[in-house]
A = this chain, B = another copy of it.
């Protein structure tokens, strides 16, 4: 049965550049902390396992199975703590032809099942030289309604959130590494994509390095429900009431008026 009310947490953490062990430890700790607060879904920033300064040469030196134990442990934690997880991470995928890296988000349910692996579609500048781009905007049906995923720069285009809205998304999580330089865009993009599509957006950013924090949850009318600081690690928590999506859609007729 669909749960219309649930508690989410955005883990606004500082990511240690290239220190996978330390970052994974912190991720597991935050999952436990959120579980103690009865959180139903926790989201982490983009590339939460490794940060963004890793070079192409360093990528190639990573062992092929470097993520396996981490993802299995995430599945165990999700099941043990009965919590849904969205974790931005570095994905390595070896095919017959090549070894590719993706800027991805793994989505695991509270049974420990992998619901989705969303790959960033829009790669920002030099990311294009390191990662292969994803080719779809992921929306998964869960007991908390239809949940969409976008990664950071994907939010800077109106099309991805619109596509996820038309696929039925009621809330979109956005694992990000957003810089101080672009903070004005963070606020505009979260508000606009929420409002245009009349859905919740939960943007989880990091702090430290050049990241601007300000993780936040935006309501389906573009207003801010809750926002984190720009500098501190925080577990930002709020209760989402999906009835608000229906209520606001009944008042503002964008989706019935939209010419397709």
* Chain B residue contacts of A162, Cβ below 8 A: 158-159
Q: Known interface pairs A158-B196, A196-B158. Does A184 touch B223 (Cβ–Cβ under 8 Å)?
A: yes
Q: Is A80 on the interface with B (CB-CB < 8 A)?
A: no
A192 within 8 A of B: yes
Contact, CB under 8 Å: A188 / B222? yes
Encoded as 1 (CB less than 8 Å from any B CB) or 0, chain A from 221 to 260 comes to 1110000000000000000000000000000011001110
Does A209 reach chain B (CB closer than 8 Å)?
Answer: no
Q: A192-B188, A192-B191 are in contact. Are A122 and B257 (CB under 8 A)?
A: yes
| Least distance between A136 CB and chain B CB atoms (Å) | 12
Q: Which of A157, A223, A258 has the most CB atoms of chain B within a 10 A radius of its CB?
A: A157
How far, in Å, is A154 (CB) from chain B's closest CB? 11
Residues of chain A at interface, number, CB under 8 A: 24
Q: What CA separation (Å) do A191 and B162 show in the bound complex?
A: 17
- Decide if A188 touches B191 in the complex (CB within 8 Å): yes
Contact of A222 among B122, B184, B222 (CB under 8 A): B184
In the complex formed, the residue of B with least CB distance to A161 is B158
A window 184-228: CB within 8 A of B: 184-185, 188-189, 191-192, 195-196, 221-223
B184 touches A188 (CB 8 A): no
CB of A97 within 8 Å of the partner chain: no
Contact of A156 among B156, B184, B188, B254 (CB under 8 A): B254
Considering only residues 124-179 of chain A, those with a C-beta below 8 Å from chain B are 125, 156-159, 162
Query: A192 to B158, Cβ gap below 8 A?
Result: yes
- Cβ B192 vs Cβ A157 within 8 A: no
Q: Would you call B184 and A192 a contact (CB within 8 A)?
A: no
Q: Give every chain B residue within 8 A of A192 (Cβ-Cβ).
A: 158, 188-189, 191-192, 195-196
Using Cβ atoms and an 8 Å threshold, which residues of chain B touch A253? Answer: 125
A188 proximity list for chain B (CB < 8 A)? 188, 191-192, 195, 222
Tell me, rounded to whole Å, the shortest Cβ–Cβ distance linking A122 to chain B: 6
Q: Is A121 an interface residue (CB 8 A)?
A: yes
Interface centre among A121, A158, A195, A254 (most CB of B within 10 A): A158
Residues of B with C-beta under 8 A to A223: 184
Cross-chain pairs A/B with CB under 8 angstroms, 12 sampled: A121-B259, A156-B196, A157-B258, A158-B159, A158-B192, A158-B196, A184-B221, A184-B222, A184-B223, A185-B221, A189-B192, A192-B195
